[in-house]
Structure 1
Amino acid sequence: MSRAAELASLLANADSLVIVCHDNPDPDCLASAIALETIADQQAVDDVTIAYGGEISHQQNRAFVRMLDIDLRELAETAVEEYDLLAFVDHSQPGANTELDGSIRPDIVVDHHPGPLIDAAYADVRSEYGATATIFIEYLDDLDVEWTTRLASALLFALHRERLDFLREPTRREYEAALAVYPYADLETLEQLYGSAFTPETIDAIGRAIASRERQNTSLVASVGTTTETDALPQAADYLLNLEGVDTVLAYGVVDGAIRLSARSIDPNVHIGETLRDGYDELGSVGGHHDMAGGRLELDRVADFGDDDDLLETLDDRLPRRFFDAIHDGE
């Protein structure tokens, strides 16, 4: 029996399913959620809910939800224990990337991020893949699910934003998956998504990162300061990676009372997920891939509390030093 058939068989015996996205979900996570929702509908699951924690602050992600009419429920308002099945998409570790308590265990996990094995009735974690959307496209093809414009457009945009646009180590599978959904996608919708405007707050955060950047050799660290825009961090990291002579970037900032990290690397000798773990693992939850990673650090583990200026000064002293030391140790 194929993996897709195993998943379909499990869903066929359920009346309800809650699909939990990771906090601040991106297109890969959201597209994977609606792909799983489609498979559940095919298996006659009566009640399917997609839930998320955090916030959807990235302007493209907000447009993605609106234009593709994705019905989402806030995790805090969702009684996950009342559903027959609980699924994680694009993440696997309870309590690490969601607001859910760490003691809650999913029944279904589909993910492409590396991490410890998870005990679930169905777990398909393929770290050799570049996107969770790729896995779901294989599922949908295997199950002969009829392609809709909405579903194909969501998955194609997810593949581009996760891997293809930035050439972040896309595998052959991502290109094959994109070719599979391309004939059914609405390219005009994708063009509109790419044209989504930056918010003023995001521009301000990226501006602070540009002004604060600190460089050692080909590595760079920058602070976005205090912001409400979580997604400004990966946007700042992506932007600064374009700087001549830079191949590895860490952007950090204070968001909702915690320190957020977002890192990128195009240096084949740097595993940026391991670099963040080496530098910050005891301070919070960090990790990721060879080329992209992130994390959340607890303020009380990093700095003494004071006014905002004192806090940022402390972070500007400690966080870059740890990052550059971790990069140097990995060489």
Structure 2
Amino acid sequence: RSIKTLDPRNFTVIAVVDAQPPSTHIPLSPNLTPTIVIDHHPVGKRSFLKRIPYVDIRAELGSTSTILAEYLLEAGVEITPLVATALFYGIKSDTRDLGRNASPEDVKVSNALYQRISVKVLSDIENPRLPREYFRILKEAIQGALCFPPGLLISDLGSLGYIDMIPVVADLLLRAEGIRWVLSLGEWKGTVFFSLRTTDGRRRNAEKLAKRLVRGVPGGGAGGHETMAGGKVDLPSAQAGEGVRQRIKQRFLKELGSSWEKGTLFVGGDNGAKNRKAGVP
């Protein structure tokens, strides 16, 4: 059931997990203050958070799942295999197998959860059957990707019916040799979404860059961490998508010391070559 079908005013307690208000990522009215906020992202608007009865924000951790699992473990609550698997996978995916932004606490809690997980369910989550559309988008994302000095890569997926591909493409392309920054973006149901990934997070913070990409853009919002971030822009009309995507790409290049005319095809392919010759972003 979609949260959009629920009226928050019918509930006495509202918890926001893995995010902080006010944010465009939270489907709550700005006039509605949640009761609980649990998150591992850097603290946002402190003045707003002071109005919330219970706040637990631990930016030193790699995953909000670690915080939730600690609550259960310390309270001695029985953790079912499905809950353990969900929390374990949350830590695993947030930290990229306990490698990215993982703290000693993430490792400790992950080990405690592993004893309780369903290995079969975890395997099903990590190795799902994928629709052909997934591979079509992946093919076009790689063929149409453009590379810019110094080690920048942009993949514009255009209009999408499969939004999860945006972070998937960003994660995959960051593994390419010589690439330090990846911007993956696309349009879905009247909103432009983008993902940033970097191997250079200690020098240039991905979250700060993501926020600069949408600064001053109506309907825009962003957040994240040192090495990974994302954001979105709600479009005023169906025709505005291409212009907004181009604006984000231009800002990305300018912020990192490059420009559009320096771009070359990353791998190539008919679609990418045609677009490049035509000057299509």
**Secondary structure, in 3 states, of the residue corresponding to 2:115?**
helix
Per-residue displacement from partner, 1:269-291 (whole Å, max 9, x unpaired)?
A: 22111111122222211121101
Measure, in 2, the Cα distance between the counterparts of 1:257 and 1:304: 6
Query: Structure 1 residues 316 and 261 mapped into 2: Cα distance closer, same or farther (>3 Å)?
Result: closer
Match of 1:200 in 2: 132
Match of 1:152 in 2: 84
CA contact (8 A) 2:14 2:35 kept: yes
CA contact (8 A) 1:287 1:293 kept: yes
Measure, in 2, the Cα distance between the counterparts of 1:166 and 1:224: 29
CA contact (8 A) 2:22 2:45 kept: no
- Aligned-pair CA distance for 1:174: 1.3
Aligned-partner residue type, residue 248 of structure 2: L
Measure, in 2, the Cα distance between the counterparts of 1:120 and 1:158: 25
Match of 1:275 in 2: 209
Measure, in 1, the Cα distance between the counterparts of 2:253 and 2:98: 24
Match of 1:292 in 2: 228
Match of 1:219 among 118, 137, 152: 152
- Aligned-pair CA distance for 1:323: 0.2
CA contact (8 A) 1:96 1:102 kept: no
Per-residue displacement from partner, 1:68-114 (whole Å, max 9, x unpaired)?
A: xxxxx311221221212111111111452122212111001101112
Q: Which moved more, 1:97-106 or 1:251-260?
A: 97-106
Aligned-partner residue type, residue 136 of structure 2: D
Match of 2:35 in 1: 107
Measure, in 2, the Cα distance between the counterparts of 1:274 and 1:174: 24
Aligned-partner residue type, residue 194 of structure 2: L
The structure where helix makes up a greater share of residues is 1
Match of 2:185 in 1: 252
Measure, in 2, the Cα distance between the counterparts of 1:77 and 1:320: 34
**Secondary structure, in 3 states, of the residue corresponding to 1:260?**
strand
Query: Structure 1 residues 304 and 98 mapped into 2: Cα distance closer, same or farther (>3 Å)?
Result: closer
Q: Which moved more, 1:219-228 or 1:165-174?
A: 165-174
Match of 1:237 among 170, 179, 182: 170
Aligned-partner residue type, residue 319 of structure 1: I
Q: Does 1:79 align with 2:7?
A: yes
Matches within 5 A, 1:43-62: none
Match of 2:256 in 1: 327
- Aligned-pair CA distance for 1:317: 4.2
CA contact (8 A) 1:201 1:227 kept: no
Q: Which moved more, 1:269-278 or 1:231-240?
A: 269-278
What value does the CA root-mean-square deviation take over the aligned residues?
2.1
Matches within 5 A, 1:164-175: 164-165=96-97, 167-175=99-107
Measure, in 2, the Cα distance between the counterparts of 1:241 and 1:276: 16
**Secondary structure, in 3 states, of the residue corresponding to 1:151?**
helix
Aligned-partner residue type, residue 62 of structure 2: G
Per-residue displacement from partner, 1:161-201 (whole Å, max 9, x unpaired)?
A: 11133722212221111111111111121112111022223
TM-score computed with the length of structure 1 as normaliser: 0.71
Query: Structure 1 residues 94 and 200 mapped into 2: Cα distance closer, same or farther (>3 Å)?
Result: farther
Match of 1:189 in 2: 121
Q: Does 1:96 align with 2:29?
A: no
Match of 1:65 in 2: none
Query: Structure 1 residues 74 and 304 mapped into 2: Cα distance closer, same or farther (>3 Å)?
Result: closer
Measure, in 2, the Cα distance between the counterparts of 1:290 and 1:174: 17
CA contact (8 A) 2:190 2:238 kept: no
Gaps of 5+ in 2: 259-281
Gaps of 5+ in 1: 1-72
Measure, in 1, the Cα distance between the counterparts of 2:128 and 2:98: 18
TM-score computed with the length of structure 2 as normaliser: 0.82
- Aligned-pair CA distance for 1:255: 0.8
**Secondary structure, in 3 states, of the residue corresponding to 2:41?**
coil
